[in-house]
Amino acid sequence: MKKIYIFLLLAPLSLSMSAQQTYDILRDIEQNNMQLQALRKNNEAAVLEVKSQNALENTSVEYSPFFRRGVDGIASSELVVKQGFDFPTLYAARNKSGRLQQEALDLQYLTARRDILLEAKLKCHDMVYFNKVEELLQQRKKNAEELLALYNKRLEEGDATIIDVNKIKMDRMNIEKETAEMEAERMASLQALATLNGNHPVAFNSKEYAHTAISEDTPEELAERIMETDYMLQQNETAARVSEQEVKVTKQNWIPKFEVGYRRNTDVEASSNGFMVGASLPIFSNARNVKIAKAKQAGAQLELDNAKIETENQIYALIYQAQNMRAVMEAYDIELMYNTLDMLRTAVEAGELSIIDYYGEADSIYRNLHSYLDVERAYQNALAELYKNEL
C-alpha cells in the first residue's frame, strides 16, 4: 500500500466521487432537518413580529348614544375617531433596531445550521472510519482463513499441532467479535444521520474523508481569520448592537406620544364637528426603562467578551490538536507495516516462522494500523471543527 501523504492547503482538496458523498448528505440534511425547518418558520414569524413593532397604533373609533326623558329614541350622540403616533425620530430608531434584530435572527439560523451540519459531518467521519476499520478487519479475516486452511492441511500431514490451528481459530474469533462491535457502532451512526436527515434513510459507503485542509499560517493568523467568520461571535456582536440600539430607543420614549382625531356631536336640533389633539407624557416610567435597557446592554457586552475568550481558546486548542495529529500520522509508515505483514506471511508459509511468533508480530502491526485510523479520524474531526463556519 502506498504511503498516505497529508497535503496542507487552505482550500479543500479536489474530491473524488467517494468523498463527494459526504457533501451530498450534508446538502440533503440542510433541506430535510426538522430542527432547521422549524427554525426557518419561527424566524419568518419573528421577522413579521419585529416589523410590527414599528407599525402605527390601531385607529380608535368610539360612538356614544345619549337618551333623555321626553325625547323618543336617541337624543344626542358622539362619534370620536382617534389615531395615535410617536415622534418621527422614534420610528427611525425602532426601524434601525428592527433591522439589527432581523440580522440577529439570520445569524441565529446560520449558527444552528452550522452546528447541525458539523454534527452530521462528524457522523460521516465516523462512517468513513468504520468502513476503513471494516476493510482492515476483512483483510485480517481473509488472512486468518487462508492460514487456517494451510495449517489444517499441515495438521493432517503432521507438520503442525492443534495448538497452532487453535491459535488461528481464536484470532478469527476475535476478528468476528470486533467486526460485530464495529457494525453495531456503524448502524448507530447511520441511524443518527437518518435522524438528522428528517428520518430519511442515508446510505454511506465512502472510505475517504471529505478533506478540509489546514493552512500553513501561524496559529495566530489562522485563529484571527477563523474568529472573523465565526457565526456565534457574529451573533453575539449583533446582540450587543441590538441592546445598544434599544438603549437609544428607550431614551427617546420620554418624547410625548401624540393623538389626533375627529369628533362629531349631534342632538335633535343641531350637530357640531371638531378635531382632537392630545399627548401622553411618560414622565415617571421612562427612567426605570432606560436603566433596564442599559443593564441588558452591559450583559450582552459581557456575553460577547466571554464568547470571544472561549472561542479563541477553543480555536487554538483545535489548531494544536490538528498539528499534533498530523505529526503523529506522518510518523506512521503504512507501506513499511504492510510490507512487514507480507514478509511475515511468507515466512510462515515457508515454515521459517511459527504461527505463535507470527501472531506476536502481526498483532502489533495490526494494532498500529488500527491506531493510525484512530489518529486520522481525530485529525479530520479537528479540521472539521476548525472550518465549521465554511459548511
- Residue from 236, 196, 209 nearest 107 by CA: 236
What pLDDT does residue 123 have? 95
The answer as to CATH 1.10.10.10 being correct for domain 17-55+86-228+302-390 is: no
**β 60-66/76-85 pair status:** antiparallel
From CA 297, how far away is CA 143, in angstroms rounded?
67
Low-confidence stretches of the chain (pLDDT beneath 70): 1-19, 71, 212-213, 268, 279, 281-285
Domain locations in the chain as residue ranges:
17-55+86-228+302-390
What pLDDT does residue 11 have? 33
**Over the stretch 217-272, which tens digit does the pLDDT of each residue have?**
788 888 999 999 999 999 999 989 888 888 888 777 777 777 787 888 887 677 88
From CA 116, how far away is CA 113, in angstroms rounded?
5
Does the predicted model carry a pTM greater than 0.95? no
What pLDDT does residue 285 have? 63
CB atoms within 10 A of CB 176: 13
**Over the stretch 24-81, which tens digit does the pLDDT of each residue have?**
999 999 999 999 999 999 988 988 888 877 777 778 888 888 877 776 777 788 888 8
Take residue 9 and report the three cell numbers written for it. Answer: 492547503
What pLDDT does residue 213 have? 66
Q: What residue spans of 252-285 are helical by DSSP H?
A: none
Q: Which residues contact 384 (CB under 8 A, 6 or more apart)?
A: 118, 121, 122, 125, 212
Take residue 175 and report the three cell numbers written for it. Answer: 476478528
What pLDDT does residue 189 have? 94
